[in-house]
Amino acid sequence: MGFYFNEPPQIGGVAGWEELRASFRWNLPARFNMAEACCGRWARAEPGRQALTHVSEGGEEISYTYGALEEQAARLANALAARGLGAGDRIAILLAQAPEVLITHFAAWKIGAVTLPLFTLFGEEALAYRLADSGARMVVTDRANFAKLAEIRADLPALETIWCIDGAPAGALDFHAAIAAASPAFAPVSTGPDDPALLVYTSGTTGPPKGVLHGHRVLLGHLPAIELHHEFFPQPGDSGWTPADWAWIGGLMNLALPCLFHGVPLLSHRMRKFDPEAAFALIARHRLRNLFLPPTALRMMQSAPRVPEGVAVRTISSGGESLGAGLRTWARAHMGASVNEIYGQTECNLVISSCNALFDTPEGAMGRAVPGHEVAIIDHEGRALGAGEVGEIAVRLPDPVMMLEYWNRPEATAAKCAGGWLRTGDLGSHDGNGFFTYVSRDDDVITSAGYRIGPSEIENCLTGHEDVVMAAAIGVPDPLRTEVVEAHVVLREGVGGSEALAEALVARVREKVSPHVAPRRIVWAESLPMTATGKIMRRKLRDGGA
């Protein structure tokens, strides 16, 4: 049974969604801790319940019950407390998807500490900035990443201890040895929903990365969207996996922790590079039913030679970049599930969603405001705009899924949360019937001959062509029109770029979208620059990068 929604409303379609919105009430208890909610309570009630299956890079599998996870987390909590760590201290986690990630999160939250997930592909400069800015006292990592930390450690006076999960090189402590030596009995501190728990760094449009600080309530804030875009999650037999790294809000909060909160078996597996055929094999072998797949992963899976037998997915969510109609149609035909699109950002995640179980989403739209969240399109003065007008997507304050603040950035926090709204910096519109459409980041808008052109619609049209795997539209300088549209296109394997294909793609956009947004130039690319969370870096393309 869901925490907020157990079954579809009595009436269907958009009216059913509005019924859910009208009757919705947040359930925020006076005391709440994510470790207790995702592990402790299950371990007491059903210690033998399956919690996690970890598949190593070599294919070996190990399973954890809730009881086993809880014991490991309690032992680690004792080991942390013995080293003087406690409420408010920052504990960094530099690991790919692995049981130790969850164990460290839970142990840190048990002592009232704040976890700082870090992406394993970060280089020394990125790590040094985040560890210094956060003042992290401890890092849990592995031998593969320890070398980077050793290089920068002298510049991190707050960093006292590095623990490795696969042995202890000189300068590190043995993670598992410390757990084995500690007591399994630990009394967690009592935390409230607003007590700090999670610090995730995100890059904005200007300046260095900012630390987004969330309270324990952020998990409860995610649940309405999770339960609806996974179509009244959980259902009997559900099981979850995402290739998205748990170092990001999408991997951790869009799937991993909600699965454990709901008692749904979770799978962890690191892919150094996303392999669509390996992903299909994993889904089939483990009978995975609930997936969070970024659009890039879906497009790569769409281009795979075949879908193996045994793939029987119940729900798929996707977000971060706009989806085209072709992906939804393909997923329904080949994976057995339609794709529900989700929208949010690290500071305020999962506030818009589609839900194919309740309503059809118009082509190009992301979905509707999730129950519990008030979303609007506003102008620079904070005034709500009407149907069809392009403005900034904003979320009404306060909201349980919102950040507490930017870490040590009161001015940035005030600018982000102003006039009663959290301003996303994303441009969008609504149709008057509650459906929101993403246009672009504010700095991705193309200005051509007086028109403000968003890239998403062009990209969706291009990727709808059978030979196109990925596409990015940018504005390039033009002396007459200020900017013209240039499209960077990745073709499926075996297809070469040609003048005839370029003309066909331009004609497709002219016909299916509008002549005024049609690319003036097609650039063939082997790949596109991407962020760690799978978003196209259009700015890098504008700067001449690849």
Question: Which tokens sit at 496?
Answer: 């070469």
Residue with tokens 């904005």: 204
Domain with residue 527: its CATH number is 3.30.300.30
Query: Which sign, positive or negative, has the C-alpha torsion 34, 250, 264, 361?
Result: positive
Considering all CA atoms of the chain, what is the largest pairwise distance in Å, rounded to the nearest integer?
Answer: 73
Report the alpha-carbon angle 458-202-532, nearest 5. 60
Backbone angles phi, psi at 420, to 5 degrees: 85, 5
By the 10 Å C-beta count (0-12 exposed, 13-18 middle, 19+ buried), 250 is classed as: buried
The number of residues in the chain equals 546
Please give the residue range of the domain that contains residue 502. 445-542
Separation CA 383–CA 227 (nearest Å)? 31
Question: Which tokens sit at 346?
Answer: 């690290």
Decide if 98 is inside a domain.
no
- Alpha helix stretches (DSSP H) within 336-448: 410-416
Decide if 483 is inside a domain.
yes
**What's the predicted TM-score (pTM) here?**
0.85
Decide if 521 is inside a domain.
yes
Q: How many structural domains is the chain composed of?
A: 1
Contact assessment for residue 480 and residue 493, using Cβ atoms and an 8 Å cutoff = no
Output the CA–CA distances (angstroms, integers) from residue 289 to 50, 243, 319, 408, 480, in the order listed.
15, 14, 18, 40, 52
Amino acid at 348: C
> Would you give the end-to-end CA distance of the chain in angstroms?
46
Decide if 185 is inside a domain.
no
Decide if 182 is inside a domain.
no
Decide if 520 is inside a domain.
yes
Decide if 534 is inside a domain.
yes
Closest of 116, 98, 120, 109 to residue 269, by C-alpha: 98
Q: Per-residue confidence of the chain (546 residues) as pLDDT tens digits?
A: 789 998 888 888 888 999 999 999 999 999 999 999 999 999 999 999 999 999 998 899 999 999 999 999 999 999 999 999 999 999 999 999 999 999 999 999 999 999 999 999 888 888 999 999 999 999 999 999 999 999 999 999 999 999 999 999 999 999 999 999 999 999 999 999 999 999 999 865 446 789 999 999 999 999 999 999 999 999 999 999 999 999 999 999 999 999 999 999 999 998 888 899 999 999 999 999 999 998 888 888 988 888 888 899 999 999 876 677 678 888 988 898 989 999 999 999 999 999 999 999 998 899 999 999 999 999 999 999 999 999 999 999 999 999 999 999 999 999 999 999 999 998 999 999 999 998 877 778 787 865 668 788 799 889 999 999 999 999 998 876 778 999 999 999 899 999 999 999 999 988 887 787 899 999 999 999 987 667 788 888 988 765
What is the C-alpha radius of gyration for the chain, rounded to an integer number of angstroms?
23
3-state secondary structure 462-479: HHCCCCEEEEEEEEEEEC
Decide if 16 is inside a domain.
no
